[in-house]
């Protein structure tokens, strides 16, 4: 008997995260939770317009936590940024949508 999963069987399932999956953060817990809520709201509201989602996230963070916030929303990108300590968040939302949020002055 062959114990290997057949193609298209249970072994080929893809996992798609519908909740925010934080890959890296050094934010304080309260700030991180508020940022995740803002990101979730913006990405759900502007699912087809990543530029508008990033702008919404940036403006909300500027208003709530002071200026100099930056946000990138998209698929298939890499990044290297300089940021203020305790002010970066990198997460995935809805499977393959990546969001990077950081503050630098």
- Walk along the chain (105 residues) in steps of 10 and give the mean pLDDT of each run: 54 67 96 96 95 98 96 95 96 93 94
Q: What is the model's pLDDT at position 3?
A: 56
Can you give the pTM of this predicted structure?
0.81
Q: What is the model's pLDDT at position 11?
A: 61
Domain count of the fold of the chain = 1
CB burial string 80-103: b at 16+ within 10 A, e below: eeebeeebbbbbbbeeebbbbbbb
Q: What is the model's pLDDT at position 12?
A: 65
CATH number of the domain enclosing 37: 3.30.740.10
Q: What is the model's pLDDT at position 105?
A: 83
15 domain residue, yes or no: no
Provide the residue range defining the domain that includes 57. Answer: 21-103
H or E element, residue 26: none
């Amino acid at each position: 008997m062959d114990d290997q999963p057949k193609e298209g069987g249970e072994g080929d399932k893809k996992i798609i995260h519908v909740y925010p999956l934080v890959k890296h953060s050094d934010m304080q817990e309260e700030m991180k939770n508020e940022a995740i809520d803002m990101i979730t709201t913006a990405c759900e509201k502007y699912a087809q317009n990543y530029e508008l989602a990033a702008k919404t996230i940036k403006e909300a963070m500027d208003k709530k936590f002071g200026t100099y916030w930056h946000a990138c929303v998209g698929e298939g990108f890499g990044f290297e940024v300089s940021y203020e300590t305790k002010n970066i968040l990198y997460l995935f939302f809805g499977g393959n949508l990546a969001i990077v949020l950081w503050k630098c002055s």
